[in-house]
Amino acid sequence: MSFVRSRKLSSMLLFTLLFACLMGASKGGNFFQDFDITWGDQRAKILNGGQLLTLSLDKASGSGFQSKNEYLFGQIDMQIKLVAGNSAGTVTAYYLSSQGSTHDEIDFEFLGNATGEPYILHTNVFSQGKGNREQQFYLWFDPTKAFHTYSIVWNQQRIIFLVDNIPIRVFHNLESIGVPFPNKQAMRIHSSLWNADDWATRGGLVKTDWTQAPFTASYRNFKANACIWSSTSPCTSTSPNSVQDNAWQVQALDAPGRNRLRWVQQKYMIYNYCTDLKRFPQGLPPECKRSRFL
């Protein structure tokens, strides 16, 4: 079931023109074509003719990959199966990021835990190098038993984080009240599996059990309905002829979507920077005054 609404086609076309999306096509879904392995030697592997990618972590090193393309707005979907068993101390990161000290970033980070204890899904949004917008969740399923789809919808109005098409978080563009929003820097897709046992599990109290190594996370069914950025073509659509695939350009939550968001945040959210009065004794950030369910 979809929890988004699309505005009139004329608005979508105007939006497209404003961003100068050229009518080009890009094949997706093949890791050989779409990604580069960036570190980890042989710990990162592309398998099954490019349909599957695995990252591994051992005591010597983790591993990671990034997209060949940079994107400026779009919907990014990836199916991930996380490290099973005792994953305490490990972090599987999946995110969009630009480069430099004033970079933008949109984060999913999966914090491992001891066998039988739930993963923590950590989310954050950076704009112009500043983050500190963390929200954390438990998941309503075991993310190690099967693949699940983790999506980022990023347009001019908002960023929507989704898990299996269920919205878990919305970050709105509130530049009108002085809140920076990532809308000027193209970003690559990144993912990595690495050791963070100094903080990842119970604040670093639980360390990585290296007798369980290697730890492995798996990826498949990557899809980008997005604008590919280059210095010569500011935005080349990956889905130039499909109104449905370009719905991300004006995507927002409808009433059922807001209800699902409320369900997730009331039952599974375990940390929200917008309610952390001790962290912000001088007052909560201005975006926190807006209802998170809109």
Active site residue ranges: 105, 109
Beta strands 269-272 and 70-81 are unpaired
Q: Say if CB 71 and CB 226 are below 8 A apart.
A: yes
15 neighbors 227 (Cβ within 8 angstroms): no
What is the bridge-based pairing of β-strands 90-97 and 188-195?
antiparallel
Amino acid code (one letter) for 247? A
d(CA 112, CA 84): 9
Per DSSP, which regions of the chain are E strands? Answer: 21-22, 35-39, 44-47, 52-57, 63-67, 70-81, 90-97, 105-111, 120-126, 135-137, 148-154, 158-163, 166-172, 188-195, 215-229, 235-237, 269-272
Alpha carbon distances (Å) from 74 to 172, 183, 229, 283: 15, 11, 11, 33
Asked if residue 227 lies in contact with residue 235, where contact means CB atoms within 8 angstroms, the answer is yes
CB atoms within 10 A of CB 115: 11
